[in-house]
Amino acid sequence: MPAIGSTSEAREGQAGDGVLEGTGMTQMDQAALAYLARRDVSAQWRGFLRALLETLDANLDRNTRNGLLRAVGGRLGQALPLPAATTLAELEARMNAALAELSWGYVSVALDEADRSLRLSHHAAPVVGAPGDEVGSWFATVLEGLYTAWLAAQQGGGSEAGPQLRVVQSEPGLVQLRYGG
C-alpha cells in the first residue's frame, strides 16, 4: 500500500466509478478531506484568521491581498527550509515532513512529462472560511508562496525569470499547483 503523499501515479477514474478526474479520489474521499481540514483548525485560531481576512479584504484590493498572503507563505517557506533533495520522492518526503510539523496536510509531487512541469497536489489543507470565501480558497495563495520558496531554494535560490508556480485548482481539501510548463 503506498504511503500518503507517495509519488506513485494516482488511479485515473473510469466513467461512472465516482473518481474525480485527474485526482484519483472519489467524491467521498474529497468530502472526508474537506471535513478533516475544517476540523483540524484550532478554534482559538479560526476566529482570529477570519477577522484577519475580513480586515485584509476591507483594506486591500484582491491582488494586493493575494500578494501579501503569498509573501507570508514565502516567509514561512524560508523559516522552514528543506534540505536539498536529489529525487522527486525525496523532495516530496521533505515537504511532507515540514507540512506535518504545521498540521497542514500533505502533498504528492509528480512529473508531467508532456509539458515538463511538476504537479503538486496538496491534500487536507486547513480550511478557514471568510465572508465571500466560505471554503477558504485564500489558503491556496499561502501555499503558493510556501511551495515557491521551497522550490526556489532547491534550485539554489531560483530567479524570477525561471519556472513559475501557480495554483490551477482550489477546492476544500485539495489544492492543485503546477511548477513550470
Instruction: Parse the chain into domains and list their residue ranges.
Output: 23-180
What is the Cα–Cα distance from 104 to 11, expressed in whole angstroms? 24
CA dihedral angle for residue 118, residue 121, residue 126, residue 132, rounded to 10 degrees = 90
| 25 half-sphere exposure, CB direction, 13 A CA radius | 18
Given this model, what pLDDT does residue 36 score?
A: 56
Q: Per residue of the chain (181 residues), what is the pLDDT tens digit?
A: 333 333 433 333 334 445 445 555 566 566 665 555 555 667 778 889 999 999 999 999 999 999 999 999 999 999 999 999 999 999 999 999 999 999 899 999 999 999 999 999 999 888 888 888 888 999 999 999 999 999 999 977 656 677 899 999 998 889 999 999 8
What is the Cα–Cα distance from 157 to 135, expressed in whole angstroms? 33
Given this model, what pLDDT does residue 82 score?
A: 97
Given this model, what pLDDT does residue 33 score?
A: 58
Closest listed residue to residue 7, CA positions, set 92, 95, 130, 122: 92
Given this model, what pLDDT does residue 162 score?
A: 76
Q: For residue 125, what is its C-alpha cell?
A: 489543507
Given this model, what pLDDT does residue 21 score?
A: 56
Spatial contact of 115 and 181, defined as CB atoms under 8 Å apart: yes
Spatial contact of 4 and 106, defined as CB atoms under 8 Å apart: yes
Closest listed residue to residue 143, CA positions, set 78, 74, 41: 74
Q: How far is CA 107 from CA 4, 73, 142, 162, in A?
A: 8, 15, 14, 22
Q: Which fold has domain 23-180?
A: Alpha-Beta Plaits (3.30.70)
Q: Count of CB atoms within 10 A of residue 143's CB?
A: 26
